[in-house]
């Protein structure tokens, strides 16, 4: 004979099913199952990517707009008989003499070579090429700057000199960024709409699979709100699980791109990518938005299921009234 363990009666006591325990009328394996979780996860993933991408581009656009009021460049083209180093120093002093200019620094040859690497490659010999020399000008954004006066002074007093405040280039970049943000918001709206429709169809499928149970409960007098509540928790858990999978996957993608951005930092491609998206580092507001999205998807799943079920029950009532 098999000897009973001393803990066996205790296990039976703790794990026995209570005679008053309620069993949900919605079997967990029959309603949508893992397919709905996967669909919600994919759509939440896409929505989270849209949210993060919009935030990254919006942050970059904000930085570009700030650069318009903080940075400018003086360019001096080499000409015959021009002492370029002496001219650079004079241009620095001239720029500093204007109101609103905080500093002016000569961009050395090494930095100039790095700026030209994406187009001309490495190992440049600037002495053999008529490469313009640059002066980086830092502006005080709290003081109004007369760009026209500075530009005229540079053009007239510096041979081969020109002043660029970057407003036109930055304006085009900001316009492109704003257009990208609008596209991202449209994609986000489409994803949420598709998610809502998916939930509605999944709920109707669940009702069809459990129609006989719903009808019996309805005929014996169960209230519509009671029947709808049986579906609420199931669909909330389904939506929350899928939304968490999608949101966490999107966060992992951004973290992976952040590491990749740090790895390729300093290369021409890495610098260009960083200029558009930054370092793919989401701020606290982006994480909060993704958390809100997860909560929204969970509640949307539950509320859509409730409204759809109540609508179906009203249809049953109308059918009964037509019969009698």
Claim to verify: residue 59 and residue 92 sit in the same structural domain: no
Claim to verify: residue 187 and residue 291 sit in the same structural domain: yes
State the total domains in the chain: 2
Claim to verify: residue 79 and residue 97 sit in the same structural domain: yes
pLDDT of residue 204 exceeding 50: yes
Confidence of residue 295 (pLDDT cuts 50, 70, 90): very high
Show which of 166, 192, 215 is a domain's final residue.
Answer: 166
Domain enclosing residue 103, as ranges: 69-166
Asked if residue 214 belongs to a domain, the reply is yes
32 to each of 110, 246, 268, how far by Cα in Å? 62, 17, 48
Q: Would you say 300 and 239 are in contact if contact means Cβ atoms under 8 Å apart?
A: yes
- Look at residue 12 in the predicted model and tell me its pLDDT: 47
Residue 100: count of CB within 10 angstroms of its CB: 16
What's the CA gap between 322 and 105, in Å, rounded?
Answer: 87
Residue 57: count of CB within 10 angstroms of its CB: 21
Average pLDDT of the segment spanning 169-193? 81
The dihedral through the CA atoms of 170, 176, 182, 187 has a sign that is: negative
Confidence of residue 265 (pLDDT cuts 50, 70, 90): low
- Look at residue 267 in the predicted model and tell me its pLDDT: 61
Asked if residue 80 belongs to a domain, the reply is yes
Asked if residue 19 belongs to a domain, the reply is no
pLDDT of residue 20 exceeding 50: no
Claim to verify: residue 114 and residue 155 sit in the same structural domain: yes
- Look at residue 322 in the predicted model and tell me its pLDDT: 62
Confidence of residue 182 (pLDDT cuts 50, 70, 90): confident
Pick the most confident of 100-104, 240-244, 261-265: 240-244
pLDDT of residue 15 exceeding 50: no
Asked if residue 7 belongs to a domain, the reply is no
pLDDT of residue 13 exceeding 50: no
pLDDT tens for each residue of 307-323:
877 887 787 777 766 65
Confidence of residue 47 (pLDDT cuts 50, 70, 90): confident
Show which of 139, 166, 193 is a domain's final residue.
Answer: 166
Claim to verify: residue 127 and residue 184 sit in the same structural domain: no
Q: Is the pTM of this model over 0.85?
A: no
Claim to verify: residue 89 and residue 43 sit in the same structural domain: no
Confidence of residue 276 (pLDDT cuts 50, 70, 90): low
Asked if residue 312 belongs to a domain, the reply is yes
Average pLDDT of the segment spanning 173-189? 81
What's the CA gap between 179 and 183, in Å, rounded?
Answer: 6
Show which of 166, 182, 203 is a domain's final residue.
Answer: 166
Claim to verify: residue 51 and residue 82 sit in the same structural domain: no
pLDDT of residue 247 exceeding 90: yes
pLDDT of residue 190 exceeding 70: yes
pLDDT tens for each residue of 110-129:
777 777 776 666 666 666 67
What's the CA gap between 242 and 185, in Å, rounded?
Answer: 21
* Torsion angles phi and psi, residue 27, rounded to 5: -60, 130
Claim to verify: residue 309 and residue 194 sit in the same structural domain: yes
The CATH number given to whatever domain includes residue 118 is 3.30.70.100
pLDDT of residue 291 exceeding 90: yes
Average pLDDT of the segment spanning 190-206? 76
* Torsion angles phi and psi, residue 71, rounded to 5: -130, 150
Asked if residue 20 belongs to a domain, the reply is no
What's the CA gap between 111 and 117, in Å, rounded?
Answer: 10
Asked if residue 12 belongs to a domain, the reply is no
Asked if residue 10 belongs to a domain, the reply is no
pLDDT of residue 46 exceeding 80: yes
Claim to verify: residue 182 and residue 309 sit in the same structural domain: yes
What's the CA gap between 239 and 202, in Å, rounded?
Answer: 11
What's the CA gap between 88 and 93, in Å, rounded?
Answer: 9
**Which residues are CB-contacts of 125 (< 8 A; sequence separation ≥ 6)?**
none
- Asked which of 6-20, 54-68, 103-117 is least confident by mean pLDDT, the reply is 6-20
Mean pLDDT of the chain: 76
Tell me the percentage of the chain whose pLDDT exceeds 90: 6
Identify which has the larger pLDDT, 172 or 209: 172
Claim to verify: residue 111 and residue 188 sit in the same structural domain: no
Claim to verify: residue 278 and residue 303 sit in the same structural domain: yes
Claim to verify: residue 152 and residue 201 sit in the same structural domain: no
- Look at residue 14 in the predicted model and tell me its pLDDT: 37
């Amino acid at each position: 004979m098999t000897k009973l363990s001393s803990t066996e009666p205790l296990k039976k006591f703790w794990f026995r099913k209570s005679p008053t325990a309620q069993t949900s009328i919605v079997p967990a394996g029959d309603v949508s199952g893992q397919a709905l979780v996967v669909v919600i996860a994919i759509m939440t993933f896409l929505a989270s990517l849209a949210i993060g991408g919009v935030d990254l581009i919006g942050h970059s656009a904000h930085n570009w707009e700030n650069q318009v009021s903080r940075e400018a460049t003086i360019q001096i083209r080499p000409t015959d008989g021009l002492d370029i180093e002496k001219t650079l120093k004079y241009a620095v002093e001239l720029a500093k003499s204007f109101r609103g200019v905080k500093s002016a620094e000569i961009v050395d040859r090494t930095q100039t070579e790095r700026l030209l690497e994406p187009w001309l490659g490495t190992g440049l010999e600037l002495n053999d090429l008529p490469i313009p020399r640059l002066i980086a000008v830092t502006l005080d954004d709290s003081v109004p700057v007369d760009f026209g006066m500075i530009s005229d002074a540079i053009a007239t007093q510096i041979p081969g000199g020109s002043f660029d405040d970057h407003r036109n280039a930055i304006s085009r970049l900001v316009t492109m960024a704003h257009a990208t943000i609008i596209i991202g918001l449209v994609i986000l709206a489409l994803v949420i709409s598709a998610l809502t429709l998916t939930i509605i169809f999944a709920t109707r499928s669940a009702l069809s699979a459990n129609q006989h149970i719903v009808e019996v409960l309805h005929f014996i007098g169960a209230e519509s709100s009671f029947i709808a509540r049986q579906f609420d928790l199931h669909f909330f858990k389904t939506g929350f699980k899928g939304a968490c999978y999608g949101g966490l996957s999107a966060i992992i993608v951004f973290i992976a791109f952040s590491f990749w951005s740090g790895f390729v930092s300093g290369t021409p491609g890495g610098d260009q990518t960083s200029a558009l998206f930054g370092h793919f580092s989401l701020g606290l507001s982006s994480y909060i938005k993704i958390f809100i999205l997860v909560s929204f998807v969970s509640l949307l799943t539950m509320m859509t299921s409730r409204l759809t079920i109540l609508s179906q029950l009203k249809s049953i009532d109308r059918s009964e009234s037509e019969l009698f």
